[in-house]
Chain A
């Protein structure tokens, strides 16, 4: 595995601009998702961009800012889920920025799946132990179906959220990648991303969204009917 070639020192001005702007992008995405009641989240696209462009812990700071701001503007239940945003930032930052996992679209799909699974592993105990299983998210109905099928609350919570989580992280990874490629090249110098001429930004973003939508459709049309 190739080591990190990303610039070890980045201008403070990049950080001062990117962290709040990406936090705002996350809050806007979360608000849209909250309004449309989608089975995903859309509040980690900015976290992905910050984690890859600046570093994993800068992404974590972006994630915490997102959820604290979202608690005031969207829903106070967002505060504990800050830690999910932190996990996502660390996965994207360490895998793509530090370990070269962003070289090809295939590798980015793997990153999206790993990120979705780890974030869901973080979200499950929060949903169960902090909220008792119901957060008001659209996945609550699926959780109830899994629980009614005889599964424990922890298993039901994990199973009901995993496809939505992977779909969300896949969308965040590829839309974030499109944003990263649109940023000045100095900001992503040394970070291994798919070549700019290989696929257009729009194609990449739409492709990632389509993969995410496939996961959502699997949840709606395969998993939920199977549970009755």
Chain B
């Protein structure tokens, strides 16, 4: 029986970007409390705006990706 190799293409690659942003979003609150206990909300808000921009970018990459 032929051994079929699993492959990934541009679409899965762009999905990796969405996954990466998810990992970042999960860990950012833990980081914020370590490096800015004085004003964590503002820092958390700013970082979430940035990660939102990148998530939108990776979403567009998923839309444009052609296998």
Would A9 and B31 be within 8 Å (CB), given that A58-B16, A61-B17 are in contact? no
On chain A, which size bracket covers the interface? 20 to 34
B13 close to A58 (CB less than 8 A)? yes
| Interface of A (DSSP majority class) | helix
B46 to chain A, nearest CB (A): 6
8 closest A-B pairs by CB = A79-B31, A57-B17, A55-B13, A76-B34, A64-B20, A9-B7, A61-B20, A12-B6
- Judge whether B31 and A71 touch: CB under 8 Å: yes
* CB of A30 closer than 8 Å to a CB of B: no
B1 to chain A, nearest CB (A): 18
Measured in the bound complex, the distance between the Cα atoms of B61 and A117 in whole Å is 23
Known: A80-B28, A82-B24. A9 touches B9 (CB 8 A): yes
A221 adjacent to chain B (CB < 8 Å): no
Q: Are A65 and B23 in contact (CB under 8 A)?
A: yes
A60-B17, A61-B16, A61-B20 in contact; A68/B27 too (CB < 8 A)? yes
Given A8-B67, A11-B6, check contact A57 B13 (CB 8 Å). Answer: yes
B56 beta carbon closer than 8 Å to chain A: no
Give 28 CB contacts A-B under 8 Å. A8-B10, A9-B9, A9-B67, A10-B8, A11-B5, A11-B7, A12-B7, A13-B6, A15-B8, A56-B61, A57-B58, A57-B61, A60-B20, A61-B16, A61-B20, A61-B23, A64-B20, A71-B31, A76-B31, A79-B30, A79-B32, A82-B24, A83-B24, A83-B54, A129-B43, A129-B46, A130-B47, A131-B36
- B58 close to A12 (CB less than 8 A): no
A79: which B residues are within 8 A, CB to CB? 24, 27-28, 30-32, 35
Query: A68: which B residues are within 8 A, CB to CB?
Result: 23-24, 27
Residues of A131-174 contacting chain B, CB below 8 A? 131
Q: Are A83 and B8 in contact (CB under 8 A)?
A: no
In whole angstroms, how far apart are the Cα atoms of A77 and B6 in the complex? 37
Q: Give Cα distance in the complex from A10 to B5, angstroms.
A: 10
Complex formed: what's the CA distance from A13 to B3 in Å? 14
